[in-house]
Amino acid sequence: MTTVFAIGLVLCVLACTVLYAGNPNQQWFKARPFSFKTAIIGCISLCTVATFCFSQTFSVAAAIFTTFTFSMLGLSLVPLITRWEKPLTAPRGNKSTLSRAQGSHASPPLWWLKSIGALVLGLPLGLFTSALITFAIFDNTPLDVKTQHLMWWIVPIWLTLIALIYFSKRPLRIFTAIALLTFAEYLAIQALI
């Protein structure tokens, strides 16, 4: 493993940590260290630098795939570190074991809507985005390489949407934008074929 690859790995973990620290429901600090918009900008910047580091070792497509994969793993593991540091204890009476920052306002319990919407809308988005990237970038590539690229990009795009939808307070706006983007990608693929 080269040093540049290790730096990219650390940057992916740091990007996920920054995104979690800016989340209103984070449980590491009493007050959020920065706003959620700042966290998103920091996360995207760190992921871009990580992709550049990975591209020194792999091809650009493999570097982007590696960044997505490590970011998904990081986004799923970072909240669990909270429970490792402060394990859950059995509640006494009707008290909850969850604690939130003083200034945070919990979003309504729409987790079931977010989960179903991300599952249903994420798959076509992953299919059409990977197909559009494959047809646009890998035009003169052999068919077996195209199909491998198409297959390997569906899951990271789909799971990234599933991982990030829980940060949203208004999932219906995001779902509308995803549906419109998916339809636009469908029309672009039809034009390419």
Residues 82 and 119 in one domain: no
Q: Is residue 136 part of a domain?
A: yes
Q: Is residue 155 part of a domain?
A: yes
Max Cα distance, the chain (Å)? 66
105-140 core/surface letters (b: 16 or more CB in 10 A; e: else): eebeebeeebeebbeebbbbbbbbbbbbbbeeeeee
Q: Is residue 28 part of a domain?
A: yes
Q: Is residue 93 part of a domain?
A: no
Residues 110 and 62 in one domain: no
Say what the pTM is: 0.53
| Secondary structure E strands in the chain | none
What is the model's pLDDT at position 48?
Answer: 93
Residues 115 and 193 in one domain: yes
Residues 186 and 110 in one domain: yes
**Total residues belonging to the chain:** 193
CB 63 within 8 A of CB 54: yes
Q: Is residue 101 part of a domain?
A: no
Q: Is residue 99 part of a domain?
A: no
Q: Is residue 65 part of a domain?
A: yes
Q: Report the number of distinct structural domains present in the chain.
A: 2
Residues 4 and 53 in one domain: yes
Residues 182 and 115 in one domain: yes
Give the C-alpha separation, 175 to 8, whole Å.
Answer: 31
Residues 1 and 82 in one domain: yes
- pLDDT digits 0-9 by tens, 77-127: 776 666 555 555 555 556 555 555 555 555 456 677 788 888 888 888 888
Q: Is residue 95 part of a domain?
A: no
Residues 65 and 124 in one domain: no
Ranges of the chain whose pLDDT falls below 50:
107
Residues 66 and 113 in one domain: no
Residue 40 in tokens: 């998103």
| Residue 3 structural domain | 1-86
